[in-house]
Amino acid sequence: MHFLLSNCKYWLEEFHFDGFRFDGITSMLYYSHGLGEAFMNYGDYFNGHQDDNAICYLTLANKLIHEIKPHAITIAEDVSGMPGLAAKFEDGGYGFDYRLAMNVPDYWIKTIKEKKDEDWHPSSIFWEMTNRRADEKTISYAESHDQALVGDKTIIFRLIDADMYWHFSKDNRNGMVDRGIALHKMIRLVTASTINGGYLNFMGNEFGHPEWIDFPREGNGWSYKYARRQWHLVDDQKLCYHYLGDFDREMLATLKTVKNIQKQPVVEIWHNDGDQVLAYSRGDLVFVFNFSPTQSFPDYGFLVPKGEYEVVLNTDAKEFGGNGLADDSVIHKTNFDPLYEKDGKEWLKIYIPARSAVVLRKKK
């Protein structure tokens, strides 16, 4: 125990680390290493299989780290969902600042691999993005290191595959590339805009890096070929990567306009799995998604606080590689409905093209 704790202190003091991600702690938390456990209800977490020594160490490690460096960040990677991991020690928790929302990247890669575009249901997407305990902060991410490093394909590579190599120049795009660019932006936007802690990118995910990282090893003949990121791709104006990178920059800037957006409630406004439309608000921003691959909707309406709304971000904008089908300069005024007058809400009706998302802000 003292040896492990001294390691935490060593890296903080000698190398000025600002925090730690504790990897794979599920295997520590349970005598079974989490194998063969269902974790379907709270009884599964506290059935006598938990390792009290490991729990004691993790709690002491968090207390030690934060005593040495109060602003250090600790993140727990746990697939079981152990309650209290990211709750304060004073509240009976283990003291981690965040837990990784491991369900989110798993959900995205499973959806891309196993479901047709027509079967992407907004109700399922919203549930996965917001399914977490209120007293625990999480790190949400669309793509995990399992995709960014060798072992699986990145999201963009799952969406586009080999066409990345032949059709990612602006003058040679095809339908597969257009689909991939559109969904990559939408996936990142719905993931980042629903966070309750932090948002994480991995090694070029922000601009759709075409390949994984694979360090020299026996399995690849000790090759260095894939042991790098091609950062120059995002600066090449002849290729489509900069569309994704430019969108990432504007997406983060938009989210930062809401002070402490991670602490603002995510309020669902509307979802319709048949239309594949989802809408929710956060602060003064309204997020609207149309995941349908074929159906565009003119004057699609839902109830929002009365007022005027301006478009602040559109995944379909031409500067982000979209089709530019909507006029984002239009100010959208809500329509009166006597049924909802006492609630202060009116109908907001907008045009949402297929496979696109738009962010609106209520004007002061």
Residues assigned a catalytic role: 23, 77
Q: Coil, helix or strand for 141?
A: coil
* Tokens 């575009």 sit on residue: 117
* Phi-psi group of 347: left, alpha or beta (phi > 0 → left; psi -120 to 50 → alpha; rest → beta): beta
Give yes or no for a contact between 59 and 6, defined as CB atoms under 8 angstroms apart: no
* Tokens 């990142």 sit on residue: 188
C-alpha distances in Å from residue 31, one per residue of 22, 25, 83, 95, 319? 18, 12, 17, 21, 53
Looking at this protein, which amino acid is placed at residue 59?
T
Using a 10 angstrom Cβ sphere, with 0-12 exposed, 13-18 middle and 19 or more buried, the burial of residue 184 is buried
Q: Alpha helix (H) ranges present in 193-280?
A: 241-255
DSSP string, 303-347: EEESSEEEEEEETT-GGGTS---S-TTPPEEPB--GGGGGGTEEE
Give yes or no for a contact between 104 and 81, defined as CB atoms under 8 angstroms apart: no
* Phi-psi group of 312: left, alpha or beta (phi > 0 → left; psi -120 to 50 → alpha; rest → beta): alpha
Picking from 247, 137, 133, the residue whose alpha carbon sits closest to that of residue 201 is: 247
Picking from 303, 296, 361, 311, the residue whose alpha carbon sits closest to that of residue 335 is: 303
Phi, psi of 183 (to 5 degrees): -70, -35
Q: What is the bridge-based pairing of β-strands 297-305 and 285-290?
A: unpaired
